[in-house]
Amino acid sequence: MRTQVAIIGGGPSGLLLSQLLMKEGIEAVVLERQTREHVLGRIRAGVLEMGFVDLMREAGVAERLDREGFIHDGTVLSFDNEQVRIDFTELAGRPVTVYGQTEVTRDLYDARDKTGGTTIFEVENVVLHDVETDKPYVTYRKNGQEARIDCDFIAGCDGFHGVSRKTIPDTVRRDFEKVYPFGWLGILSETPPVHHELIYASSERGFALCSMRNAHLSRYYVQCDLSDKVEAWSDQAFWDELRRRIPAETAEALVTGPSIEKSIAPLRSFVSEPMRWGRLFLCGDAAHIVPPTGAKGLNSAASDVFYLHRGLTSYYQERDSAGIDGYSQKALARVWKTQRFSWWMTNLLHRFPDRSDFDIRMQQAEIAHLQDVRAAQETLAKNYVGLPY
């Protein structure tokens, strides 16, 4: 098989890139290790920056997002029982949209079906070859048969555990990582959200987040120990702990119900440099991971897609290689800014087990600064809604 761009990974970043390239007449084949049903079964975040929404519109797949997405003009930060609302529209000039990542992925798959794009699921033993030459190719196994795709470029959108990043030699690649000493216990419940905007809560007992997927589906989190087990947390224990960490008036309004999904996610910050090696480009979680506190995971992947799509389009339509040559530098410049914001939000809102009394006072001073200084709120708002590409 021959294509122009081989995309490794059938998650939202790989699918969005394939749709954008297709709109420009650039052929792409998507390889995915899992089944379509497995990909759509992943429960992920749903806060979308305007830049991401604009890319979905550009790709022609935003009809349902525009119809069903929730526009959020702000968010609430609570510190014990004190609250501060960050007004995105006033402070940053634009809102965010709440729309589940699962729904984004579903819309992208449906659009790819309509356009007849080639997506190959349940592939095994994917290997990237000759990526440092002008004739790269990909081999894989499907239904026990070996197959090969020749291509001009390879986009590695296959996540942290994929093969793409590992293809870059250790002598070339440099990884940066910070692992946080806690995780998030999250549940999904068929209950109305407790508030029309997200609530980020910091308390003496630890962090909590109240969010939603739609008017009848809520997503809640509490900070937990990495040693905790999901089965040790009953639904009642979760709801009781959540109430202890959010403002009293919010706790009183909370509607509870059985969880339909429950999981614990560890938190880490990770960046791999460079994001390009030869004809291979890393995109999204293959190159970087952020703690979910700042809602930047999917959104930072979208900025990678933006730069790579623009670069490849210029290459094919104008024979201009400046975009792909500068891809890694541009993408990483924005990646590190989103890393800084996510790291800052995580430090602001969580209780670290090894913090000294001085560290606690510094956190309290940072909170007071945010409560009292409009410029600090403006900085938070501009980062949360998304820095320009």
pLDDT in tens, the chain (389 residues): 999 999 999 999 999 999 999 999 999 999 999 999 999 987 677 899 999 999 999 999 999 999 999 999 999 999 988 899 999 999 999 999 999 899 999 999 999 999 999 999 999 999 999 999 999 999 999 999 999 999 999 999 999 999 999 999 999 999 999 999 999 999 999 999 999 999 999 999 999 999 998 889 999 999 999 999 999 999 999 999 999 999 999 999 999 999 999 999 999 999 999 999 999 999 999 999 999 999 999 999 999 999 999 999 999 999 999 999 999 999 999 999 999 999 999 999 999 998 899 998 999 899 999 999 999 999 999 999 999 99
Q: What would the two tokens of residue 147 be?
A: 């197959």
Catalytic residues: 72, 200, 292, 296, 384
Q: Is 50 left (phi over 0), alpha (psi -120 to 50) or beta?
A: alpha
DSSP code, position 37: H
CA distance 251 to 241: 10
Number of H helices, E strands in the chain: 14, 20
Backbone angles phi, psi at 274, to 5 degrees: -80, 170
Say what the pLDDT of residue 42 is. Answer: 77
The confidence score (pLDDT) of residue 81 equals 80
Q: Choose among 278, 267, 280, 275: nearest CA to 303.
A: 275
Residues forming a β-bridge with 269: 178
Judge contact between 66 and 99, C-beta under 8 A.
no
Residue written as token pair 């709440």: 98
Q: What is the pTM (predicted TM-score) of this model?
A: 0.94
Q: Contact at 8 Å (CB) between 128 and 280?
A: yes
Q: What is the pLDDT of residue 381?
A: 98
CA dihedral in degrees (284, 286, 290, 293; nearest 10)?
60
Residue identified by tokens 């995971």 is 297
**CA–CA dist 294, 183 (Å, integer):** 15
378 three-class SS: helix
> Tens digit of pLDDT for each residue in 156-212?
999 999 999 999 999 999 999 999 999 999 999 999 999 999 999 999 999 999 999
Q: Determine the pLDDT at residue 44.
A: 72
Tokens coding 13: 């970043």
pLDDT in tens, 370-385: 999 999 999 999 999 9
Both tokens of 57, joined, read 């519109």
49-71 residue pLDDT tens: 999 999 999 999 999 999 999 99
Supply the pLDDT for residue 36: 92
Peptide bond into 274 cis (omega under 30): yes
To the nearest whole percent, how much of the chain has pLDDT over 90?
A: 93
pLDDT value at position 214? 84
Rounded to whole angstroms, how far apart are CA atoms 297 and 342?
Answer: 9
Coil, strand or helix at 47 = strand
